[in-house]
Amino acid sequence: MTTAAEPSENPDLRAVDGRVPGRRGMATRQRLLQCTSDLLETTSYRDLKVVDIAREAGTSPATFYQYFPDAESALLALADRLVGEGGQRLIQPLRSADWQGSNAYLACEAVADAFLDFWADHSALMAVIDLAALEGDQRFRDCRIQLLNTFTVAATEVLTRQRDAGFAAAEVDPEATAVVLVSMLSHVAAHQLGITQAGVSLEHLRDAMARVMYNSPLGKTDTFGTTI
C-alpha cells in the first residue's frame, strides 16, 4: 500500500536517519528490496541475513541499515506492496460473479481458485506474512488483516444478501461466517505445498473448498433454517 510518488510525505520511504532519499538513494533502496525478494525464493525467512542481502545488492550491510531498521522491515515493505494487489485479486471473483441459484457454485470455484493462485504466485512472501503475524509482530498482523479484511468485508456483503434473500436462517452471522471461510481459504492455500497429509490433490482440495463454501450460507442452502 505504500507506493506513493511523494517520498517526503511517506514516512516509510525516509532513510533511518530521517533524511529523504534522493535519486541514488531510492535506487539503492529498490535494489535492496529486489534482492530481499530474490533471496526469499531460495532462503527461508529465519535464514535471511542482512549480510546476504547486502552482498547480493553489492553494498555493505551498513548501507542496508541506512534504509531499513532491520531485515523484517524490508520484508514488511514487500508485504505492504503485495496487500493492494492481493485485496483486489481476491475480491474480484466475489464482486463480478453471479450469485443467483446454482451459478453460485461457479462463483465458489472462482473464489477458491483466486486464493490458491494468489498464494501460489507469492508463496514465499505470504509465508513470511503468515509466519510473522503468527509470531506476534503487530506490523505483519496489520498487514495480513488488511489483506484478508478486504475480502472479508466483500464476503460479508454477499453473505448478508444471500441470507436476506432467504437462503439461510436469520440467525446466521454473516461476518463470523466470512471470517471462518477466509480462515479456511487462506489456510488451505498457505499449506497447499506439503503440510497437509499427502494423498489429497490440489484439485480435490479446490473442489472441497468450493463445495463447503457453496453449502455455507454463501451459496444456496434451504434446509438449514428448519432443521435447527
Q: Which is nearer to DNA, 73 or 146 (CB)?
A: 73
Q: Binding residues for DNA, per CB under 7 A?
A: 15-16, 19, 21-26, 28, 49-51, 58-63, 65-66, 69-71
Interface contacts to a copy of itself, rule CB under 8 A: 44-46, 101-102, 105, 127, 130-131, 133-136, 141, 144-145, 148-149, 152, 172-173, 175-177, 179-184, 186-188, 190-191, 194-197, 199-201, 204-205, 207-209, 211-212, 214-217, 220-224, 227-228
Nearest CB to a copy of itself, comparing residues 59 and 157: 157
SS3 at position 19? coil
Beta carbon of residue 66, minimum distance to DNA (angstroms, whole number): 6
In the complex with DNA, the residue whose CB is nearer, 47 or 98, is: 47
The nearest distance, CB 58 to a copy of itself, in angstroms, is: 28
Residues near 70 by beta carbon (within 8 Å), at least 6 away in sequence: 50
Considering the complex, state which of residue 21 and residue 84 has its C-beta at the smaller distance from DNA: 21
Q: How far is the CB of 43 from a copy of itself (least distance, A)?
A: 11
Q: How far apart are CA 228 and CA 226, in angstroms?
A: 6
The Cα 167–Cα 175 span in angstroms is 16
Contact 111, 72 (CB under 8 A): no
Going through 50-125 in order, the beta strands assigned E by DSSP cover none
Strand, helix or coil for residue 48: coil
Decide which of DNA, a copy of itself, none touches 95; Cβ closer than 5 to 8 Å per partner kind: none
C-beta neighbour count of 178 within 10 angstroms: 25
Asked if residues 29 and 21 have their Cβ atoms less than 8 Å apart, the reply is yes
